Amino acid sequence: MLSLAVVGGGGGYVANRAIENANRPPAAPLSVSDLGKLTTGDLYAADPEADVLKAEAAQAYRADQLKKDRGGAAGKGLDWVVPKKAPGGDGFPAMNFPPGSDPSPGSNKATAKSMMASFGFGGDQWGCLERLWHKESGWNERAMNRYSGAYGIPQSLPGSKMASAGSDWQTNAATQIKWGLGYIKGRYGTPCSAWGHSQSVGWY
């Protein structure tokens, strides 16, 4: 496990890291604990390895922003900066992977809004969900975080976790939203709790 959050060498490392994270196979066979989670339906429990990758990606993004903000002579020698907290993706640009129709953030939001009640979320949670997934992906079902490889509207890491909601997880916004709402409910309870966590540490 790589523990360094900010690296010299810039874009090449970032791109390679994102690809590795997006395509990484399971680290080990399912443990007895993991099997227990599956049998009880707890598919959204904390994933310590993914959490570390999310935190590293948020820190790398923040460090890049610091260097950009302090560009020129003032920005020299800032490669060592590793902030304790960092913002998340703020809707990283979509990668044309896999190919599909143009994303429609407006219709994706409408789909999410219509699905919230089935997960037990009231209308008071909508603002938090809207801000959370705008920050993560811009509501683009093909958004991929270039730092971590997280994918889709809810920025699943790896994206293949969303296959539990449907085999069309790479292109179907509704499938991603279904998985994302289940993840939020299972891990944080509500979108506002997930948003609060994201605001605190830069990821959820």
Distance of CA 192 to the CA centre of its chain: 16
Q: What is the mean pLDDT of residues 35-57?
A: 66
What percentage of residues in the chain have a pLDDT greater than 90?
40
**What pLDDT score does 4 carry?**
40
| Residues 55-111: tens digit of each pLDDT | 887 777 777 777 776 665 444 443 433 333 333 444 444 444 445 556 788 999 999
Q: Mean pLDDT highest for which of 58-67, 77-86, 126-135, 149-158?
A: 126-135
Model pTM above 0.95: no
**DSSP label at residue 79:** T
| Residues 161-185: tens digit of each pLDDT | 999 999 999 989 999 999 999 999 9
Provide the residue type at 122 as one letter. G
CA-angle at 38, arms to 37 and 41, nearest 5°: 85
Q: How far apart are CA 45 and CA 186, in angstroms?
A: 7
Compute the radius of gyration of the chain from its Cα atoms: 17
Q: How far apart are CA 96 and CA 94, in angstroms?
A: 6
